[in-house]
Amino acid sequence: MAKFEVIETPIKDLIIIVPKVFRDDRGFFLEAWNQKEFDEIFSKFYGKKINFVQDNHSRSIKGVVRGLHYQEPHPQGKLVRAVRGKIFDVAVDLRRESPTFGKYYGVILSDDDMKMFYIPEGFAHGFVAISDVADVMYKTTDFYYPEYDKGIIWNDPTININWNLQEFGIEKVILSPKDSKLPYFKDVFGNI
């Protein structure tokens, strides 16, 4: 019996992975990672096993936007999940040869349903915290290299992400100084 359900998204190679969660009056239990199961999932969708080399953990208060980040060279695939609270997580296709180049897909990740979002190399990634506090953990397929850290401004008009801020009760976003100065998509990639 499979421990994970896989949901395909409208953008090729972006998948949502839903673990089987066992709940009772004491709380819950789930397997967040199982090498054998994930080898099968990744082999099916990508024709290869995926090797993760680093785990990251961030905490954000409501309204914090992190991203849109990517790394080039040394692109990182990311397996993202909210271990506490709730986020609206976004991936932007930066693969020039892709029919969805410059398009995004967003999904709510929360500690309620424990969904995970796999974002392979070739995508920018970002999220907004939509609960009072959100802890996000993600595995990466390559190490972080500060000298190759790149990004696109979160509210880029070309990508035109609907962050649903009003729906989530967010009046003002909170950005790091670095993220507030990220370039526009067209300035990095040209027009779509």
Name the nearest CA neighbour of 4 among 81, 75, 85: 81
In a domain, 37, yes or no: no
In a domain, 7, yes or no: no
pLDDT tens by residue, 12-33? 999 999 999 999 999 999 999 9
* Whether pLDDT at 1 is above 90: no
- pLDDT, averaged across the chain: 96
* Whether pLDDT at 64 is above 70: yes
The beta-strand segments (E) located in 35-143 are 54-61, 65-71, 78-84, 86-93, 104-110, 116-119, 123-129, 133-140
Residue with tokens 């993220």, as numbered in its chain? 179
The predicted model gives 132-152 an average pLDDT of 98
Task: Give me the CATH number covering residue 136.
Answer: 2.60.120.10
Peptide bond connecting 73 to the previous residue in cis, omega within 30 degrees of 0? yes
In a domain, 14, yes or no: no
Chain centroid offset of residue 149 CA: 16
In a domain, 15, yes or no: no
In a domain, 150, yes or no: yes
Q: How many domains does the chain have?
A: 1
In a domain, 107, yes or no: yes
**Cα torsion 165, 64, 83, 40: sign:** positive
The predicted model gives 71-87 an average pLDDT of 97
How far is Cα 23 from Cα 6, in angstroms, rounded to an integer?
20
In a domain, 87, yes or no: yes
Catalytic site positions: 69, 138
* Whether pLDDT at 191 is above 90: no
- Percent of the chain clearing pLDDT 70 (strictly above): 99
pLDDT tens by residue, 151-183? 999 999 999 999 999 999 999 999 999 999 999
Quote the domain boundaries for residue 57: 53-189
pLDDT at 92: 98
* Whether pLDDT at 192 is above 80: no
In a domain, 126, yes or no: yes
How far is Cα 3 from Cα 119, in angstroms, rounded to an integer?
20
